[in-house]
Amino acid sequence: MKVVTTHAELRAALDAAGRGAPVVLAPTMGALHHGHLELVRLARNEAGPRGMVVVSIFVNPIQFDRAVDLESYPRPLDEDLARCRAAGVDLVFVPEAAAMYAADRSVRVHESLLSRGLCGARRPGHFDGVCTVVLKLFMLTRCDAAVFGEKDFQQLAIVRRMVRDLDLPVRIVACPTVRETDGLAMSSRNVRLNPDQRADAPRIHRALSDAARIDGGIDGVRAMLDAARAAIVASPLARIDYLELVDAETLQPVDTLERDAVLATAVFYGDVRLIDHMRVPAQPS
């Protein structure tokens, strides 16, 4: 496994590998857990034995709306590199922020529809930062495909829209949400939960799962949202940032289940913000 930190080193490593086999990117911000390793496994399947799996590890400063999140984001680089090596990654790109962004940068990528609600409404500029760094990583790595987790389903939808609208020659591969044995979605933020918060946090997944099974007939959507909200706020440790039912494709709020939908939430435990979602299939009227 080769580790590079500059654009020039990345180009040299890609040139040395040749252009005959596919390059598959797994973009991460580090603090790798089993969910990230599932991205790597899917990337290897996509690349095949002759292809190249590239993992980027970059805590992207322009997608953070809260300084505390950026400052406290875990950066266990040695452990991350060891995990990449054990998982069979071919190339790891670990750039510095100064190498990714010029001091007088003035261009960002802006998505104007799918990012309006959910996390986008609560984190101004977040998805501009995501789209900008993802586009840069696509161009720098020359990847043929890239793997993203479904846990961040709004991010996945926005990246797909960017690829479609900008005619980017990159195939997006979705990785199903990877969960702990108690149902909590794996996240690098989970390590910041104290023991009581960690023990309580699986209620998020339970609340969404139970609510998604409610019949979606007359007043069904309201009942679904009310049930999920009640189950989450039953804990004094949990504070809801948002809880919405949105169209699975457009991400716009819905009040009927004529099309597939997503029940999505963000919940604070102290200053740790956790997201999760549950898909809700269309139900006959």
Question: pLDDT tens, 216-233?
Answer: 666 789 999 999 999 999
Mean pLDDT of all residues in 184-211: 97
For residue 205, the model assigns a pLDDT of 98
Question: What is the C-alpha end-to-end distance of the chain, expressed in Å?
Answer: 54
| Domain end residue (candidates: 175, 205, 229) | 175
Q: Which residues of 240-271 are buried (b: 16+ CB within 10 A; e: fewer)?
A: ebebbbbebeebeebeebeeebbbbbbbebee
Do 16 and 120 fall within a single domain?
yes
- Domain total for the chain? 2
Do 164 and 240 fall within a single domain?
no
Mean pLDDT of all residues in 9-36: 92
Determine, yes or no, domain membership for 285.
no
Average pLDDT over the chain reads 95
Nearest to 50 by CA among 132, 144, 113: 144
For residue 283, the model assigns a pLDDT of 84
Amino acid at 167: D
pLDDT level of residue 285 (50, 70, 90 thresholds): low
For residue 127, the model assigns a pLDDT of 97
For residue 218, the model assigns a pLDDT of 66
Six-digit token string for 279: 């898909």
Q: What is the CATH number of the domain that holds 86?
A: 3.40.50.620
For residue 20, the model assigns a pLDDT of 77
Residue 153 has pLDDT above 90, yes or no: yes
Q: Measured between alpha carbons, how far is 186 from 36 in angstroms, rounded to an integer?
A: 9
pLDDT tens for 57-105 read 999 999 998 888 888 888 999 999 999 999 999 999 999 999 999 999 9
Do 145 and 79 fall within a single domain?
yes
pLDDT tens for 137-147 read 999 999 999 99
Q: How many CB atoms lie within 10 A of CB 195?
A: 7
Q: What is the CATH number of the domain that holds 238?
A: 3.30.1300.10
Do 171 and 259 fall within a single domain?
no
Q: Measured between alpha carbons, how far is 249 from 157 in angstroms, rounded to an integer?
A: 8
For residue 225, the model assigns a pLDDT of 97
For residue 85, the model assigns a pLDDT of 97
Which residue out of 33, 34, 36, 277 is catalytically annotated? 36
Nearest to 128 by CA among 102, 148, 155: 155
Mean pLDDT of all residues in 172-182: 97
Task: Say whether 205 is catalytic.
Answer: no
Residue 185 has pLDDT above 70, yes or no: yes
* Residue-number span of the structural domain to which 108 is assigned: 2-175
The DSSP code for 191 is G
Residue 21 has pLDDT above 90, yes or no: no
